Amino acid sequence: MKPTKYKTVLVTPPGAIVDNAAFATATIDTLGFSYLEIFVAFGAMDIAATLLKVQESDDSGMSGAVDIVGTRVGTDPNDTGATSTLPSATSDNTIFKFEIDLKGRKRYLDLNLTGGDGTTGTYAVVWANLHEGDVAPTSAADKGAAQLMRAPIIS
């Protein structure tokens, strides 16, 4: 088995639908990694999100956090060059993805997501994959998982 140098971080676990409020998120410690992918999976939505972006800070509590240009959905262009759009009431069962080269970035990153004020609100789950680590984590815990399952090599 080829060890991969990655770690998964559960940023926003499955929980209650959020209406007119910010989602609770976990700060991502990027120490020892070179690249980050953040996935925001939306379930049922009856209203557009009002905020979706990534911020960075030198402080784990995100004191003095600043926006990362290129991650401000609804402001910055997307990968096609068009202005990005916030998830809408019709964005059910879609994934929004952020790709961030960590070279020159601050150590801590955090996703900011606010659900709009609808009849019920927004359901979302967020996770991040840190890649190209200085070391190859091998245990489930080191990889950010409760359990690690490996399929046998077929020869």
Task: Please give the average pLDDT of every successive group of 10 residues along the chain, which has 155 residues.
Answer: 78 91 96 97 94 98 98 98 96 97 98 94 96 89 91 84
List the chain domain ranges. 6-131
Secondary-structure class of domain 6-131 per CATH:
mainly beta
17 neighbors 122 (Cβ within 8 angstroms): yes
What is the pTM for the complete model shown? Answer: 0.92
| Residue ranges of E strands in the chain | 6-12, 28-29, 35-45, 51-57, 66-67, 94-101, 108-114, 122-131
Q: What is the pLDDT of residue 2?
A: 57
Q: What is the pLDDT of residue 23?
A: 95
Q: What is the pLDDT of residue 1?
A: 46
